[in-house]
Amino acid sequence: MINLRISDQNLIRIKKLKTLKQININPYPSEEYTITYNSKEIRTNYKKNKPVILAGRIIRIRIMGKASFIELKDKEGLIQIYISINNFSYENKVYNLFLKKLLDIGDLIGINGYLFKTKKKQISVYAKKIKLLSKCLRTLPNVKTDKSGNTFDSFSNNEKRHRMKYVDFIVNEEIKKVILTRVKIITFIRNYLNQINYLEVETPILQSIPGGAIARPFITYHNTLKSTFYLRISNELYLKKLIVGGFEKVYEFSRNFRNEGIDKKHNPEFTILELYVAYKDYYCMIKFTEKFLNQICFNLYQCFTLKIGNQDINFIYPFQQITFFEAIKIYTGFDLSHLIETEILKICTEINVKIDKNMKKGQILDQIFSQKCEKQIIQPTFIIDFPIEMSPLAKKHRFKNGVSERFELIINGVEIANSYSELNDPIDQLQRFKQQIKLYNKIESENMLIDKDFILSLEYGMPPCTGIGFGLDRLIMLFTNQRNINDVLFFPTIKSVNTIQIG
């Protein structure tokens, strides 16, 4: 619940707002405020008496009679501001009223002054003028750190943090750094792919058929067309249509939506990096993926080993490869590769794997792998050659019966990517779609309509190709050592507000 109740502190700040207007200080000016330097540039290029103009948010105020200190925070960090009544370009009464009584922690101000160092050699700005840029009417969490580095009164309640990300970014610098790392990773990926001649494309979010994956979609309605549409659960089929159309290397940062559970690894709205390349297979994609992640790690940290918790994750390739059935045998002791469904069900009871009574063979195998294997795989590992029942969009293996040319990349117990040698036989693909629909219950089956336009596109001929989908949010969680997906999203999905209290 978001609380808009007016507290005593809010009332005090609102009174200050009125006083500011009475003395002709606009608390929300509209004109441009020209900034010449930020805090990082000041620290890096310090020169005594250098004139500077900067802006930021007040984090701390220390009033000391005729002199005062303000700790100012801008996008690059903190800088100390020194204000002396004897060197201030306003009348004393304005100094005493404006600075001492009307400014608050959280206010956004502009500073015009020059650089100097205090007796303790701290780089500071000697303020000649202060301009109020935006009055803060809410009290910021007062995060304090002692000499030993211990933090007190932190803004740490996860429900509040994730709902009020704007406050989280103000007071929790580490979370802001995580988000900036997200931006850096996406920028690197885009540049990396563009340099090797991949084309960034855009595909529809509103789709008439929720194809390309198995998931419950969000449903909406278009009034003019009088048609039901779905928010996309995947962009895979559209990217393959582009391969059909002659675009040989394509990628998209795809915002996808799945009307399913929410936990520390799942958000209903999430980002997938999906890419496809013609005339390659999943063996080629393994090599691409190894180098790709290796370069992301090096770009971020100038090394190839990443510390996650107590684990050192090594991105030096080649990564380990294990077949799907080998992984199950390693972590359960059972070879399931030649067993029928009833035999596998008995083993599920022995190894305490929880399954739904309506699940079919492919779903049962998926649960065994998820519950018994995935979390134990720490170093980057390709799980290859999945059962054909689990891979409706992948080619049957060219040498092995009953499995597909598919891999999943597991790192630190989490699936990071999924790849196939893409199925381009339209007759086989249509049969696979029909078989897949039969596996799911009535509600899911009604939403899993066959995309006939995709089948039609395959009939025009899709070149042999391979594709991969990276869970971008999970990838960023990995490279920023975060355990909660909400901490790598600008604005995660939070339960709807039921009540708003005002006054």
Q: What is the pLDDT of residues 397-442, one digit of tens each?
A: 999 999 999 999 999 999 999 999 999 999 999 998 888 777 665 4
Does 252 share its domain with 111? no
Average pLDDT over residues 300-321: 95
Does 128 share its domain with 231? no
pLDDT of residue 142: 73
pLDDT of residue 502: 37
Q: What is the pLDDT of residues 456-503, one digit of tens each?
A: 999 999 999 999 999 999 999 999 999 999 999 999 998 876 544 433
Alpha helices in 353-459, H assignment, sequence order: 361-372, 426-438, 442-447, 452-459
**Residue 94 located in a structural domain:** yes
pLDDT of residue 442: 46
Asked whether residue 223 carries a pLDDT value surpassing 50, the answer given is: yes
**Residue 278 located in a structural domain:** yes
Average pLDDT over residues 52-67: 92
- What is the pTM for the complete model shown? 0.90
More confident residue, 449 or 473: 473
Burial of 211 per CB tally in 10 Å (0-12, 13-18, 19+): buried
What is the CA angle 453-458-461, rounded to 5?
Answer: 140
pLDDT of residue 407: 97
Is the separation of the CB atoms in 241 and 463 below 8 Å? no
Query: What does the alpha-carbon distance between residue 358 and residue 200 come to, in Å, rounded to a whole number?
Result: 41
pLDDT of residue 444: 52
Query: What does the alpha-carbon distance between residue 414 and residue 303 come to, in Å, rounded to a whole number?
Result: 22
pLDDT of residue 494: 87
Query: What does the alpha-carbon distance between residue 205 and residue 215 come to, in Å, rounded to a whole number?
Result: 15
**Residue 326 located in a structural domain:** no
Is the separation of the CB atoms in 257 and 231 below 8 Å? yes
pLDDT of residue 91: 55
**Residue 502 located in a structural domain:** no
Asked whether residue 65 carries a pLDDT value surpassing 80, the answer given is: no
pLDDT of residue 151: 64
pLDDT of residue 93: 62
Does 46 share its domain with 179? no
**Residue 80 located in a structural domain:** yes
Does 75 share its domain with 194? no
Q: Give the position of tokens 């060219």.
A: 398
Question: Domain count of the chain?
Answer: 2
Does 193 share its domain with 117? no
The domain that holds 115 is classified in CATH as: 2.40.50.140
**Residue 166 located in a structural domain:** no
Does 289 share its domain with 410? yes
What is the CA angle 181-187-192, rounded to 5?
Answer: 125
Q: What is the pLDDT of residues 349-363, one digit of tens each?
A: 999 999 988 888 989
Last residue of a domain, one of 117, 140, 163: 140
Does 115 share its domain with 182? no
**Residue 364 located in a structural domain:** no
Does 135 share its domain with 282? no
Sign of CA dihedral 67, 144, 39, 58: negative
**DSSP 8-state code for residue 268:** S
Burial of 1 per CB tally in 10 Å (0-12, 13-18, 19+): exposed
Does 94 share its domain with 40? yes
Average pLDDT over residues 330-345: 94
Name the least confident of 45-49, 188-192, 258-262, 296-300: 258-262
Is the separation of the CB atoms in 98 and 144 below 8 Å? no
Last residue of a domain, one of 140, 161, 182: 140
pLDDT of residue 197: 98
Query: Collapsing DSSP states into helix, strand and coil, what is residue 436?
Result: helix
Query: Collapsing DSSP states into helix, strand and coil, what is residue 179?
Result: helix
Does 289 share its domain with 395? yes
Asked whether residue 233 carries a pLDDT value surpassing 70, the answer given is: yes
Does 205 share its domain with 97? no
Query: What does the alpha-carbon distance between residue 374 and residue 368 come to, in Å, rounded to a whole number?
Result: 9
The domain that holds 275 is classified in CATH as: 3.30.930.10
Residue 245: domain span: 174-319+379-488
Does 259 share its domain with 309? yes
Burial of 133 per CB tally in 10 Å (0-12, 13-18, 19+): middle
